[in-house]
Amino acid sequence: MPTPRNVIPDGCNMGTLIRVAVGVNVAAFVLSFAVAHAEGFAVFLTAAAVLEPVLLASLLTWCLLRRAALPVRAPVQRLLAWSAPALFTLLLMQLLGLVGQGTRAELMLSYVALAFGSGAAIQHYLELRARAFSPAVTEAKLQALQSRIRPHFFFNALNAALAIVRADPPRAERMLESIAELLRAVMGDVRKLVPLEQELDLCRRYIEIEQTRLGERLVVDWQIGAVHPRAKVPQLLLQPIIENAVRYGAEKVAGTCEITVRVRQHGFNLELFVSNPIAREPIQREGNQIGLANIRGRLALVYDLEATLETRVRRERFELTLTVPVEGKPNA
C-alpha cells in the first residue's frame, strides 16, 4: 500500500479527534487500575490533569502542521508528530512546577518517553488506517457505490428525450445536452469535490428532464440561501437524493408533487434539506433505504465522521437533512 503524502494525523478531523481521545483515555484508565488497583480511579483523575491538556495541544498542533502541508518527507513528518506530545508534556510539567522540585530526572524522563511513545503509536495507527483507505482503495469503493445510481437514471432520461424528439426538437436537444452533462458527471473523478452551484445546476437539469416526462405534476421549490463561494460537495451527492424524491414521490403520488430543496450554511457546515410526499407502499421504503445506504457510504469515505445524514417522516412527507463541512476534502 502506498504511503500517504501527509502522514501527520489530521487533528482537525472529527473522526480522528474522537478516535484519539477515546483511545488515549481508555488506555490511561486501564493503566491506572493496573498500577494502583484500589486507587486506580484517583490515579486516573490525577493523570488526566496532565493528559487532557497535552492531548488537546497535540491534536491542535497536528491540525496546524497538517494544514501547513510542510514540504518535508514522511520520516520528518513522523518525527514532528511523535515529538508534539513529548514537548507539551515537558512544558506542562514545567508550568505546574513539577520539574526541579523533588521530581527525579528518571521519572520526568519516563513521562516524556511515554508521551513520545504514545504519539508514535497513535501516528502509526492512523497512518496504517490512511493506507487502508488510500486513494486507490477509496476510489474503487466510491466507484462501486456510484455505479448503483446509473442504470434507471439514464434509461428514464433517454426515454423522456425520445418521447418529444419529433414533437419539440429544440427541447429534445436541450434535454440531450443535459443528459450529456449528467453522463459527464457520472463518468468523472469520483474523488472530486465540485462547487455547490455546479451540483445544483446538475440537479436543475435533472428536474427539467423529469418535468418533460411527468409534466406539471412535478413542482420543485428551490430555497437556496447565501453560501460561501468556495463551498464544495462530492460530485453527484445531491442529485441522487432529488432523484429518490422524484422516483418515490412524484411517480407514486397522484396529483401534484411538490419537492422542497433547501440549502443553508450554518457556520462552517453546509445543510442540504430535501422534502417530498411519500406513497405508502413497501417498495418505497426499500428503495429509499438502498439509496440512503449508498449516500451514507459515500459520505463516510469522503468525510469520515464530519458529515451527518438524518431522515424522518412528518405530515406524510419524507424529509432528509444532510450536513457536510463547507470546505471538506476527500481522505488521502
CA-only gyration radius of the chain, Å: 26
How do strand 193-195 and strand 232-234 relate by DSSP bridges?
A: antiparallel
Given a contact cutoff of 8 angstroms between Cβ atoms, the answer to whether 2 and 136 are in contact is yes
Query: Please, what is the average pLDDT of the chain?
Result: 81
Residue 273 has pLDDT above 90, yes or no: yes
Residues 186-201: pLDDT tens digits?
Answer: 776 656 788 999 899 9
What's this model's pTM, rounded to 2 decimal places? Answer: 0.66
Structural class in CATH, domain 138-325: alpha beta
Separation of alpha carbons 222 and 200, rounded Å: 10
Binned at pLDDT 50, 70 and 90, residue 330 comes out as: very low
Given a contact cutoff of 8 angstroms between Cβ atoms, the answer to whether 248 and 213 are in contact is no
The residues with which 322 forms a beta bridge, in sequence order, are: 272, 309
Q: Which of 114-118, 126-130, 296-300 has the highest mean pLDDT?
A: 114-118
Phi (first) and psi of residue 290, to 5 degrees: -65, -45
**pLDDT at residue 283 in the model:** 45
| Residue that has been written with the C-alpha cell 436541450 in this structure | 174
Residue 150 has pLDDT above 80, yes or no: no
Residue 144 has pLDDT above 50, yes or no: yes
Mean pLDDT (whole number) for 211-220: 84
- CA 272 from centroid of its chain's CA atoms: 14
Q: CA–CA distance from 160 to each of 27, 68, 84, 136, 207 (Å)?
A: 60, 50, 60, 36, 12
Separation of alpha carbons 203 and 84, rounded Å: 46
Q: Identify the three-state secondary structure at position 13.
A: coil
Residues 123-140: pLDDT tens digits?
Answer: 998 888 877 766 655 665
Residue 79 has pLDDT above 90, yes or no: yes
What are the cell numbers at 66?
Answer: 497538517
Q: Identify the three-state secondary structure at position 7.
A: coil
Separation of alpha carbons 324 and 301, rounded Å: 13
Residue 65 has pLDDT above 70, yes or no: yes
Nearest to 298 by CA among 142, 104, 84, 114: 142
- 262 Ramachandran zone, left/alpha/beta (phi>0; psi -120 to 50): beta
Nearest to 123 by CA among 26, 31, 20, 52: 20
Residue 286 has pLDDT above 50, yes or no: no
Separation of alpha carbons 166 and 146, rounded Å: 33
Q: Where in the chain is the domain with CATH 3.30.565.10?
A: 138-325
Given a contact cutoff of 8 angstroms between Cβ atoms, the answer to whether 55 and 21 are in contact is yes
The residue among 118 and 212 whose pLDDT is bigger is 118
Sign of CA dihedral 115, 118, 124, 129: negative
Q: Name which of 44-53, 175-184, 191-200 the model is least confident about.
A: 175-184
The residue among 19 and 284 whose pLDDT is bigger is 19
For residue 224, the one-letter residue type is I
For residue 89, the one-letter residue type is T
Which letter does DSSP use for residue 268 in this model? T
Mean pLDDT (whole number) for 245-253: 79
Given a contact cutoff of 8 angstroms between Cβ atoms, the answer to whether 123 and 82 are in contact is yes
What are the cell numbers at 172?
Answer: 429534445
